[in-house]
Amino acid sequence: MRRLLAFTLLALPLAAQSPPADAAPDAALSAWRTYDFAQSEKLYHDAIAKNANAPEAQAGLIRSLLDEKKIPDARHAADAALKLLPDSAPVLAANADVLYREGDLAGANTDYEKSIELNPELARGWYGIARIAQIDSRYRTAIRVIERAHELDPDDPEIYEFWAFHLPRIDRRRALEHLIDHPGHMAPDHLSTLQSAVAWLITLGNRNSWELASTTDNAKIKLDRVIRNVGGYGPSSGHQTAVALQAVINDKKVRLMIDTGATGIVLSRGAASKAKVRQIYDTVSRGIGDEKDASGYLGWAHSLKIGPIEFHNVPLNVIDGHFPQDCDGLIGVNVFEHFLVTLDIQHSELALAPLPPLLDANKDSTGNYDRYIAPEMKDYLPVLRVGAHILVPTSVDDRPNRVFLLDTGAFDTQVDTKYVDPSKLTALVDIPIRGISGQVKDVLLASNVRIHFGPFVQDNFRMIALNMDKFSEGDGLGIKGILGFPLLSEFRLTFDYRDGLVNFDYLGKH
């Protein structure tokens, strides 16, 4: 049986225990808990200079460097700490945090579990296990484990935030407001994310977001082609197509490009204005590109209609972004997450069908569930899901698997320059590439590589190569590449968002 990661979580205790003896905050920990990462780094360095064998100081330094986005420095600090203290639970958990950020989820999971075996009262170990369970579609497990982490250390801001987002709606709003009221040195974009979440909860009131107003559970939606001039090199040069669908937002017709890398609905300001989308909270959107982030706002629409499917109380992201010609915005396939979704690009069709019923054994009394692979889905590939993003375990040149974003909105397949042999990289001259965050600098071409994901293997493959560090910052998980439209168009893709499964039905080039 194929598994993305191997877990032994059920063998570990979850019984309530007293807080760890070393939980009392010192000056460095207090600085970190108020998001003053530069100060906490300095104080942890000072503590290590006095006593290099202090595990909490070593772990705290690693976390501080990670939160400052100093990934190479965090790796160096973790290696040094492991050499000194190879059997330290806090150091192992902190090293797992680095591995998570680097995209090595199997390694991260191993070290998180080792840390808990050494110290079952280590909150950071439980927190890491909860994060991996969450993205591995084991939501019941994630909730159970984050509650344990929060019991052990309710003052850890990262644990508190993860825990808060899993609370019932009223309690969630109060918990997020507590974080907002005590921001310390919280980064502005982080604070804005929390404020936006609270603003949406206030707007929503007692209503349900994405409320399904239609009754049909089967639909076939015709798609049309989008022409994009992406400049060129090789097979991806010149005019290239994407696919789009017609929708109605607040009784206003819009054309939305299908983008599996997008979250929900993303609209241009002009289209949002014409559709009378209500503005809730100002936001910025970050993506590929080396210029400024795109400004915009969180919006609310009363209704969204796509073929026979209708939703009410729909959140929208409105941005000052660049969309393909004749498109008003983007639509993520996660909009249809309550259906089994088949995207057939070659035949220009999006089909919706019912998901298989969940087994009672996979659910708890409140309806939280862990991944269920129905018999008819035994050949589907288990993937990771971070919000709306689907991340596919992928190998380049037989390297250990790392995660690639499945993104029909990307004009081509892309790889992080650090995940490919430098000898296979050449410069791309005068090929402008833009993302949501503007022009991309230092773009290279990776040639003659072997790419492997799920059932698909191809040699002599070519893809764009660029630095993806900034792209990885949003989810805190190291993303090493993007599976783009030309490659994905060779498959009929079927998505089970509920269980984190994708079927890749190879159709060939067209």
Three-state DSSP class for residue 95 = helix
**Phi-psi region at 367: left, alpha or beta (left = phi > 0; alpha = psi -120 to 50):** left
The label of the residue with tokens 């081509």 reads: 412
Above pLDDT 70, what percent of the chain? 87
Mean confidence (pLDDT) of the chain: 89
Beta bridge partners of residue 297, listed in sequence order: 282, 318
The label of the residue with tokens 């949003």 reads: 474
C-alpha span between 357 and 472 (Å, rounded): 34
pTM listed for this prediction:
0.89
Residue 364 phi, psi (nearest 5): -105, -175
Q: Is the CA virtual torsion 474, 498, 331, 346 positive or negative?
A: positive
Nearest to 402 by CA among 102, 70, 138, 109: 102
Q: By CB neighbour count within 10 A (0-12 exposed, 13-18 middle, 19+ buried), where does 383 fall?
A: buried
DSSP conformation class of 400: P
CB-CB neighbours of 492 under 10 Å: 18
Confidence band (pLDDT; 50, 70, 90) for 12?
very low
C-alpha span between 242 and 418 (Å, rounded): 28
User: CA end-to-end span of the chain, whole Å?
Assistant: 32
C-alpha span between 325 and 476 (Å, rounded): 32
**pLDDT of 442 higher than 80:** no
- Predicted pLDDT at 487: 95
Q: Is the CA virtual torsion 415, 417, 423, 429 positive or negative?
A: positive
Contact 300, 229 (CB under 8 A): no
Three-state DSSP class for residue 362 = helix
**pLDDT of 304 higher than 70:** yes
List for the chain the helix, strand, coil content (%; round to 5): 35, 30, 35
- Predicted pLDDT at 221: 97
Read off the pLDDT of each residue in 455-477 and give the average, rounded to a whole number: 87
C-alpha span between 464 and 483 (Å, rounded): 11
C-alpha span between 508 and 510 (Å, rounded): 7
Token pair listed for 389 = 């993003």
Q: pLDDT, tens digit, for every residue of 15-40?
A: 334 334 343 348 999 999 999 999 99
Whole-Å CA distances, 272 to 74, 121, 244: 42, 49, 18
Confidence band (pLDDT; 50, 70, 90) for 436?
low
Nearest to 307 by CA among 347, 336, 287: 336
Q: pLDDT, tens digit, for every residue of 90-137?
A: 999 999 999 999 999 999 999 999 999 999 999 999 999 999 999 999
Q: pLDDT, tens digit, for every residue of 226-274?
A: 876 555 444 444 455 799 999 999 999 999 999 999 999 999 999 999 9
**Maximum pairwise Cα distance, the chain:** 68
The amino acid that residue 149 corresponds to is A
C-alpha span between 150 and 484 (Å, rounded): 39
Residue bearing the bigger pLDDT, 287 or 331: 331
Read off the pLDDT of each residue in 44-71 and give the average, rounded to a whole number: 96
- Predicted pLDDT at 285: 61
Whole-Å CA distances, 106 to 38, 112, 120, 129, 242: 30, 10, 20, 11, 34
C-alpha span between 466 and 349 (Å, rounded): 32
